[in-house]
Structure 1
Amino acid sequence: MLKRLRFAKCAHKHDREFQFWQEGVHAELILSETMMRDKLDYIHANLVKRGYVNLPEHRRYSSASNYAEQGGY
């Protein structure tokens, strides 16, 4: 079993020896407006964190520009 879990670990993951949970996108139910805002902020912040843009609203095809023009959510 450990051999299989070691094989399942992504090669770029250096902080662990084994991988139990599958990597990838998992659906999550949005339960409130606050939770929705948190998820949007996270998505928009990733653009900056990854170095694609200096401001989220500068990313082409991102909804961040829509929210910036509206002055909020």
Structure 2
Amino acid sequence: MDQLAFYKKAHKTGSRYQFWQEGAHPEQISSDEMMRVKVEYIHNNPVERGYVDHPEHWRYSSARNYGGKRGGLDVCKQWYVVVK
């Protein structure tokens, strides 16, 4: 909680803490393709940061499950998008 308070932007006067990074805005997943892109983006974050060479090597990533390996948690790999 100390870090969340420390990194809170000064102009965020409605809260003592800041959890979300500036510039992060929610986006509705509107297609299977969009969901696939988002999942791949998340899986590649540790690779982009230089922590691992392959997404499946990141211990806490669902990329292990998607790659046919056992992950730390069970992951539902099938999704569907409901478009209103």
Confirm or deny a common fold (TM above 0.5).
yes
Q: Which runs of 4+ in 1 moved over 4 A?
A: none
Equivalent AA in structure 2 for residue 29 of structure 1: Q
Equivalent AA in structure 2 for residue 57 of structure 1: E
What is the aligned partner in structure 2 of residue 52 from structure 1?
51
Q: Which has the higher contact order (CA 8 A, sep 6+)?
A: 2
Aligned-pair distance for 1:52? 0.9
What is the aligned partner in structure 1 of residue 6 from structure 2?
none
Q: Unmatched 5+ residue regions in structure 2? A: 1-10, 12-20, 70-76, 79-84
What is the aligned partner in structure 1 of residue 36 from structure 2?
37
Equivalent AA in structure 1 for residue 54 of structure 2: L
Question: Cα RMSD (Å) of the superposition?
Answer: 2.5
Among all aligned residue pairs of Structure 1 and Structure 2, give the percentage whose two residues are the same amino acid.
58
What is the aligned partner in structure 2 of residue 64 from structure 1?
63
Query: Number of paired residues?
Result: 52
Larger fraction in helix: 1
Please report the TM-score for the alignment, with normalisation by the length of structure 2: 0.53
SS in 2 for 1:28: coil
Q: Unmatched 5+ residue regions in structure 1? A: 1-7, 9-21
**Between Structure 1 and Structure 2, whose CA radius of gyration is higher?**
1
